[in-house]
Structure 1
Amino acid sequence: MGEDIDYSKLPRRDVLCIDVKSFFASVEAVRRKIHPLDAYIIVISDFERPGAVVLASSPKVKKEFGIKTGSRKFQIPEDPKLMIVEPSMSLYLEINRRICDIFRRFVADEDLLVYSIDEAFLDISATRKLFGEPLEIARKIQKIIWDELKLVVSVGIGDNPLLAKLALDNEAKNNKSQIAYWSYEDVPRTVWRIPKLTDMWGISYGYEKKLNDLGIKSVYELAHRNPLFLKSYLGIMGLQLYYHSWGVDYSRISEKVESKHHSYSKGQMLMRDYDSKLEIMAVLREMVEQICIRLRKYDMVCEAVSLYISFSKHEASFGFKKTKKLPRATNHTSEIALYFDAIFEENWRGELVRQINVSCEEVNPAEAYQLDLFGSIQSEKTNKIDNIIDEIREKYGKTSVFRAYNLSHGSTFLHRSGYVGGHKGASSLDKEEKK
C-alpha cells in the first residue's frame, strides 16, 4: 500500500521540464515584433481547408476565444484582433535548435531529453554545483531564452521526470513566475489534488474510462486503492499508474531506453474526400516513396508495413488499419509499394478516403541482413535505381526528378514538396523576407 512507500529510499534527482509557451504562435509573434503574451496569433495548418487544424494559438487567444491546438479553422470567429498565419516549420526547427544549445550550457547531452519541439527535460543533478539551486537555474534559463530569443518558457521542477512534468503542466503554466517545484513530500497537496485523471501524465481517455469503471474518479482515489487490485484488472499498467499517483518514477534521463524495433511513418490529411482509386493510389505511392527514401538515407530496412486509411465523415465506418509482414527485409520502393498496394486492394470497398497513414515497421540496420541468393541480382539493380534518384533529389531538390504518377490528378507531391514535417516549411512572410 502507499503508506509503505518510503521516499527516503527512492532516487532523488534535480529535474527540470521546460516548455516554450505556445511555441509556434510565440515565434510568429516575435518575428512580427509583438510580445508573445500580448499577441492574438493563430497558426493554422492550411489556409485552403475549412477543417484545417490549429497548430498553435497565443495565450490570449486561448483565454479569450477558447481556440487552442486541435481546434478547427471553421471554429475561429471573425474578429479583427485575430491574426491567422501559416506555419514556418523550418524556422521553428531552427529556433528549437538554438533553445537546445542554451540548455547545453547547463547540462551535458546525456542529461538532456528533447521531449518534443517545444518541450525538454534537463537533469541538472551533476551541474547544480556550478550554476546554483534548481530554482536559480530555472530563472537563469528563462532569462537567457528571453534575452536571446524573446520567448517565454515555463519550468516544472521535480525530484524525478514525472514530478517535473506534473509540476509544469498543473502549476507552472498558470503561475505568474511560470515556475513550480513538486517534491515527494508535496505529493498529498500537489499530485493528489490534480483535478482530472487525464491531467495526470500517462493517463489517456481510455485509461480514464477503465479507472472510472473501477470506481476511481480522481488521482487521490487512485493512490488509495490496493495496487494488487489495480494490477489484477489493468495488468502492469495498473501498478505503474498507482505508483505514479504517489509521485514515484525510477526513470533517469541519462539512461534513455531504445526500443527493440523502430518504425518510420508518414501521415497526410487530404484536401478533400477522394473517391477515385487511381487518385488514392497515387498519393499512397508518393507517401511510400518518401518513407523509403528515409530508410535508404539511414541505411535501414523494414520487415513489415502498416497502412491506416481513415474514411470521410460521410461514411458509416471510420476506416481500417492493417499490417503485413514482408517475406524479407528491404528498403526498395518498388517492393515495399507492392505490399501497401495489396493491403489497400484487400480492404478498400469504394469508400470516400480523407486521411492516409503509412508506416514501415520493424526497422533495423541493413547490415544485419543478408540478401537471398536468387533475389540478390535483381535487388542490386533496384537498389542502384533508387540510390541514383535519391542522389539527384538530394543535390537538386525534391522536384528535380519524380515519377509519372506524381503528375496524375489527385497527386499531392508537387503541392507538398516544400513542406517540413507535414506542414509548410516557409510561410508567405518567409518568402517576402527573402526578396
Structure 2
Amino acid sequence: MSRAPRSTAARRFWGDDDSHTPILHMDMDAFFVAVELLERPELVGKPVAVGGQERGVISAASYEARTFGVNSAMPVAQARRCCPQLIILPAQHHKYSEVSRRIMDYLRSITPLVEQLSVDEAFLDVAGARKLFGTPMQIAQRIREHIRSTEGLAASIGIASTKHVAKVASAHAKPDGLLLIPQERTTDFLHALPVGALWGVGDKTRETLEKKGIVDVADIVALGRPRLVAILGQAHGNHIYDLAIGRDERRVQPYREEKSISKEHTFFDPIDDPPAAWKMMLDQAHDVARRLRANEFFGRTVSIKVRYTDFSTITRSVTLGAPTNTGADIYDAARNLFDQLPASGMGIRLLGVRVGQLSRSAQGVQLALDDDGRRSRAEETMDEIRQKFGGEILQHGSLLETERRQPPVN
C-alpha cells in the first residue's frame, strides 16, 4: 500500500529501550480508508476518503487526500472544493468493526492491560509482558508486524513512560512509524512541541495561549503554573501544566464500571424524515439493551442525543418508573422523547440513545405494574439464538431491508 514518506520524528529513537517506558499507544493509520483499499487496490496512491456521497462529512481521509487539506469531520462539499479529484467511498462500519475486533483480540493476547479508546486506537501497559515478548520496542515491532501480515494494514505506535507522552509519540510516528521516548528524555521531547500537541489542548485553548505569546510547550513551563492557572482556570490550567512537564499519573484501565451504555450514529448523508430516525433509534435501543443484558445491568434513565446539520445539539432524557434492560422499553422512551422535539427544519447528522442510572441485576429489580415479562423473555431468547448461530441471524422485521447496490465511486 502506498504511504506518504515518514516524518523525521517517526524515524527518531530517543535513547535506550529501558524498563521505564512500558506504555504503548497504538493508532491505526487512516483506518477506514486503509480497510477499503484492501478491496480497491487500484485506488492506492490516490486521494481517497470515506464519508457521505453528496452531503454529510468526511469520516477518514488517505494521506494523499490530506495533502490537499482534506480531514475527518470536514463537510463533503468543502472537501471536494479542497480536492476536486477526491474519491469518496461509502462507509462500511461492519467491516471496520470486525477488523478492529481481531486487532484488539491480538493486543489482549500480549497483555490483559489494554485500554481501547476507539475502533482503531488503544493503550497497552506491557510491563508484565517483557519476560515473554521482550522489550517494549520489541513488543511494538511485533504488534506492527502482526497487523501488517494478518490484516495488510499499517499501525503507528508511540512508547513512553506515561499515556500522554505515548499518545503524542504515536502522532509524531505517523504514518506507519514507531517512536520511543525514554523517561529521561520526556521533557526534551515535550518542550520542542507546539502547545496544540498536548492532549487536551483544543483550538480554543491554543488560540488563547498564542494570544499571550505562548506558542511552544517550553513557553508553558517558563510561564509557570500560577500564571497558567490564571489564564485557563484552576482545573484546566493545572492539568495542562502537568502534561507540559511530563506528569501524567493515569494508568491503563482495561476495565471500567459502566455508568451508562449508549449507541450513536453519524449520518454521512443527513436524514430529514422521522421514520428514518425511528428506525435508527429502534436499532440503537436494542443494541444498548443487548449490552445491558450481557453485563447484567438494568437502567432507569433513557436519553437521546440529536445533532443537526448546523452542528447544534439537543439532548433529552426521562426517568422510567422501573429499571429495564429491554429494547422495546428503551425504544418506547426514546421515541417519545424524539417526537416531542420542536421542528427544526434541518437534517439530522447524529442520533444516539443512552441508558443511565445502571444497577446490577443481582441488586433486585422491581417490574413495572403493567409488565408481564413477555418482552424481556422474548429478547433474552433472541440473545440465546444469536449466541448460538451468530449476531445477524435475527433482526426486527422493521429493520430488514433489501440490500442496495453501493453508490458508484466518483
TM range (shorter): 0.7 to 0.9
User: Is there any run of 5+ residues in structure 2 with no aligned partner, and where?
Assistant: 1-18
**Residue 316 (structure 2) pairs with residue 322 (structure 1):** yes
Aligned equivalents of 1:256 and 1:104: distance in 2? 10
Q: Quickly say closer, same or farther: Cα 1:23–1:272, change in 2 above 3 A.
A: closer
Sequence identity (%):
20
Deviation at 1:243, TM superposition (A): 0.8
Deviation at 1:78, TM superposition (A): 4.5
What CA deviation, in whole Å up to 9, does each residue of 1:51-101 have, x standing for no partner? 2433333222322x332333344323443xx65433443443343344345
Q: Quickly say closer, same or farther: Cα 1:52–1:185, change in 2 above 3 A.
A: same
Counterpart of 1:29 in structure 2 is 37
Structure 1 residues 226-305: aligned runs within 5 Å = 226-228=224-226, 230=228, 234-253=233-252, 255-256=253-254, 258-259=256-257, 261-269=259-267, 271-272=269-270, 274=272, 280-281=277-278, 283-285=280-282, 287-305=284-302
Deviation at 1:32, TM superposition (A): 4.4
* 1:21 maps to amino acid: D
Q: Quickly say closer, same or farther: Cα 1:165–1:400, change in 2 above 3 A.
A: closer
* 1:16 maps to amino acid: L
Structure 1 residues 21-420: aligned runs within 5 Å = 21-32=29-40, 39-40=45-46, 42-47=48-53, 50-63=54-67, 65-74=68-77, 75-76=79-80, 77-79=83-85, 83-100=87-104, 102-103=106-107, 107-110=110-113, 112-169=114-171, 171-173=172-174, 178-195=177-194, 197-208=195-206, 216-228=214-226, 230=228, 234-253=233-252, 255-256=253-254, 258-259=256-257, 261-269=259-267, 271-272=269-270, 274=272, 280-281=277-278, 283-285=280-282, 287-313=284-310, 318-349=312-343, 351-355=345-349, 356-371=351-366, 375=368, 378-387=371-380, 402=396, 406=398, 413-414=399-400
Q: Quickly say closer, same or farther: Cα 1:93–1:428, change in 2 above 3 A.
A: farther
Q: Quickly say closer, same or farther: Cα 1:224–1:329, change in 2 above 3 A.
A: farther
Counterpart of 2:9 in structure 1 is none
What CA deviation, in whole Å up to 9, does each residue of 1:223-253 have, x standing for no partner? 3344355557533343222111111122232
Q: Quickly say closer, same or farther: Cα 1:306–1:211, change in 2 above 3 A.
A: farther
Q: Quickly say closer, same or farther: Cα 1:288–1:97, change in 2 above 3 A.
A: closer
- Give TM-score, length-normalised by structure 1: 0.72
Deviation at 1:158, TM superposition (A): 1.0
CA contact (8 A) 1:157 1:168 kept: yes
Q: Quickly say closer, same or farther: Cα 1:293–1:211, change in 2 above 3 A.
A: same
Aligned equivalents of 1:364 and 1:226: distance in 2? 44
Q: Quickly say closer, same or farther: Cα 1:347–1:391, change in 2 above 3 A.
A: same
SS of equivalent residue, structure 1 residue 224: helix
Aligned equivalents of 1:235 and 1:381: distance in 2? 52
Count of aligned residue pairs for this structure pair: 384
- Give TM-score, length-normalised by structure 2: 0.76
Aligned equivalents of 2:27 and 2:245: distance in 1? 24
CA contact (8 A) 1:13 1:123 kept: no
Q: Quickly say closer, same or farther: Cα 1:145–1:227, change in 2 above 3 A.
A: same
Q: Quickly say closer, same or farther: Cα 1:365–1:209, change in 2 above 3 A.
A: farther
